[in-house]
Structure 1
């Protein structure tokens, strides 16, 4: 039993869909579950549609037409017969969005988000399943919402693991004894059968949940890179391929923002000691990267960059110490506004954090914090995290930079910085 996960880039157009089908045909697993994301940048387009519907800042129907036209073009390139059942199947999926758009927006934007954005995964998996069957690789489409059971925290649903495992083992595992199955990443459902999503880029996490529930031999995530690299090529002209990685280092790297793997992916696999392989769908015969329980540290320093950061410094208004009670209040406020802290530093009379800049969330957060504390902040910053750092690596990334905050632990260094004035 193996699980393959293909992201949006791997099914971005008809040529990509055919490539994925070829990878699947060439694969060796007897029993295979395929977890697929929405095609290309469709999730971005559907998010824009949600915003247009709720706030009226664009034509939601026009955006829906663009999404439908994109998928129609892909299907025309794949299926010569205009009466192929996939056309009706996909059209019926979009009807769910059309019904929503006929109603006035309610006061539950996260619920609306999940009902609309989830359709991207539904449609992509229907198209891939149809192409697999057309090209001589029998496959069955299955609905992830029948197995991934969650609470009703829309847009960031929490998985009911006990129920999810039961559904996967009793209903999905027997099916996979008979057929290859194609299902969706990113989505689940509540006990009332309302659609939920697991957080942006949550398809990797879905694949890990399915792998753990099936006790799979391995999970393979197919990417547009040759495996895990020690830095993002858009930041470094020279990068190094990492052939093997420990669960521990993978968790650290994803937590700090490495975007090759979703942060929640590793734990379900580690719990069951299931290897994770990161391989290239562009060069499927390449070695990739294997992530296991190996104890050896990373062979090279690894760099993770996050841009558009806000450094927020919080001070008591009466110049008293920042103590545990203050920190509890501060973290409650961050949790309330759903703002994730990327790094932090505490001193006697201040507490500083670096966070991603989200105009709506940060504005509300700063307003709330200012009710109780004195607050200062800087925008337009960069955060670099170096795993297994040394002074040479720090000097390399901070050249021509002003350092606003630096935090070091035994193996990890985090630096918040900006371009030096006048540069």
Structure 2
């Protein structure tokens, strides 16, 4: 399949590597006995369940073995398993992309070899002297990855990105599916780029729900075999790879759950469920055992890292419950997101780090009216940048943004050409859901407030990161 050349670019068609044959069924040892995974399903018997495993769940051979234990002990069928790239692989692929586009061949080769060696080391640790077939498939994927970099490095970056970053998920699912088959869990491998149909908006592709639904519902889920596929990636109707945005694997799992009318979606994490604050930053965070869809969407929108913001809408539409479970503590109670949330609102606290504050003013000292705000916010949309806080005055618009260099720097350059711009970096944004005034004041302490926003349900304050490095404590009884 080929793609029409983008305007102003010379496109060299590259054969896609799918349909990729399923990973081989290898003889393998019996798995060690693990804890039984009782999921307390809310769906009706026979309804499909969707699992999603993130990069930390498959970061090395030991983690993949543990994943195999989890899947070997669950009786859920039909079962669709959505898997991310192995831990930190997407970051490594982005660094490889940068090296390819900079024409630094030594750096590029070094990064490619390091990534290849890491995946082959995992294969060796899992399969030992039975690794040949799986290793050959991994090598073939890296050869194709190298070929795509050499072919597409002069193409627009978003297009180049999507043709290469997808290999993280293709590699991980190839290894995981082979291990599951070798360990006695019969598994069918499917390429998500043939199932998740999107437009060609690279790095943030939009789903064609009708076409995607038809393809997903055509899958054979009645064989009793587990179905494994990739998160984060999709494909256009003419066979071009796309991605759904960083951390989009949760969204992929929700797409499958929605299209299949699943009984539930279970997202496996390295933390025991959802908390009212990040336990790594707040020493007295507590687990939220029940949340409504609306409250979970609010938390995700404001930067809670556990659930991808787009994940919840397709689940809410069909009333599909989402459970967040601990990959490390199988017996721990899950957090459940459904139509019925907790009976009382619990304050929640989100710290978004690596923030930048842009303060924009008209160069002619006139008002920051609706037309100018529309222009500025429209540029954010075009750049794919989300404003975490917006505060406006008569002659000023203040924006708190994630300081992602590849997206923020071009945006800042464009805005500075038309507006007087003042920038502050190294900031931390505190968001409090269901706040009280004493609670917000106690958390703020003596920190300098650079910007703030408040409505009935949410309070936000922006601080210097140097004042936020310590462990936080949620005040009692406020």
Structure-2-length-normalised TM-score:
0.84
Per the alignment, residue 374 of structure 1 pairs with 420
Which residue matches 1:131? 179
1:207-253 per-residue CA deviation (whole Å, 9 max, x = no partner) reads 00000001100000000000001111221112101111110010000
- Count of aligned pairs: 420
Tell me the alpha carbon deviations over residues 15-53 of structure 1, each in whole angstroms, 9 at most, x when there is no partner: 111111111111121210000001111111111100100
Q: Which residue of 1 aligns with 2:19?
A: none
Q: Once the 2 structures are TM-superposed, how far is the Cα of residue 142 of structure 1 from its aligned partner? A: 0.9
Q: 1:254-304 deviations in whole A, cap 9, x for unaligned? A: 011100011110001001110000000000121110000015466421111
Alignment equivalent of 1:52, drawn from 74, 78, 99: 99
Q: CA deviation at 1:177?
A: 4.5
How far did residue 90 of structure 1 move?
A: 1.7
Offset from partner CA, 1:107-137 (integer Å, 9 cap, x none):
3211221121111101111111111111111
- Take 1:292 and 1:6, find their aligned partners in 2: how far apart are those partners? 20
Hey, what's the Cα distance between the residues in 2 that align with 1:10 and 1:293?
A: 28
> Structure 1 355/307 Cα, relative in aligned 2: closer, same or farther at 3 Å?
same
Match of 2:403 in 1: 357
Query: 2-side partners of 1:282 and 1:392: how far apart?
Result: 37
Describe the shift of the 1:140–1:302 C-alpha distance in structure 2 as closer, same or farther (beyond 3 A). Answer: same
Equivalence map 1:148-159=2 (5 Å): 148-159=196-207
Distance 1:399 1:166, change over 3 A: same
Map residues 25-64 of structure 1 onto 2, 5 A cutoff.
25-57=72-104, 59-64=107-112
Does residue 422 of structure 2 align to residue 393 of structure 1?
A: no
Structure 1 segment 331-350 matched on structure 2, within 5 A:
331-350=377-396
Structure-1 residue corresponding to 2:279: 233
Partner of 2:125: 77
**CA-to-aligned-CA distance 1:69-91 (integer Å, 9 cap, x gap):** 11111111111334542222222
SS of the residue corresponding to residue 310 of structure 2 reads: coil
Which residue pairs with 1:90 in the alignment? 138
Structure 2 unmatched ranges of 5 or more? 1-47, 470-478
Most deviating of 228-237 and 355-364: 355-364
Distance 2:68 2:314 in 1: 27
Matched, 1:183 2:229: yes
Q: Is the 8 A contact 1:342 1:355 kept in 2?
A: yes
1:109 correspondence with 2:154: no
Distance 1:398 1:65, change over 3 A: same
Q: Deviations over 1:125-170 (max 9, x none)?
A: 111111111111111111111110111111111111111111111x
Structure 2 CA distance for partners of 1:373 and 1:132, relative to 1, 3 Å: same
Tell me the residue number matched to 1:312: 358
Deviating 4+ runs (over 6 angstroms)? none
1:147 and 2:195 are equivalent in the alignment: yes
Q: Cα 1:83–1:403, aligned 2, differ >3 Å: closer, same or farther?
A: closer
State TM-score, norm by structure 1: 0.95
Contact 1:400/1:419, CA 8 A, preserved across alignment: no
The answer to whether the aligner puts 1:19 opposite 2:98 as a matched pair is no
Q: Which moved more, 1:274-283 or 1:354-363?
A: 354-363
CA distance in 2, matches of 1:280, 1:373: 48
- Who is 2:458 aligned against? 412
Give the C-alpha shift of residue 362 in structure 1. 3.1
Q: In 2, distance between residues paired with 1:256 and 1:294?
A: 21
Instruction: Single out whichever of 384-393 and 95-104 deviates more from structure 2.
Output: 95-104
5+ unaligned residues in a row in structure 1: which ranges? none
- For the aligned residues, what is the CA RMSD? 1.8
Matched, 1:65 2:113: yes
SS at match of 1:278: strand
* Aligned-partner SS, 2:450: strand
Structure 2 CA distance, aligned partners of 1:318 and 1:312? Answer: 18
CA spacing shift, 1:103–1:144, aligned 2, 3 Å: closer
Structure 2 counterpart of 1:210: 256
Distance 1:110 1:416, change over 3 A: same
Q: CA deviation at 1:359?
A: 3.4
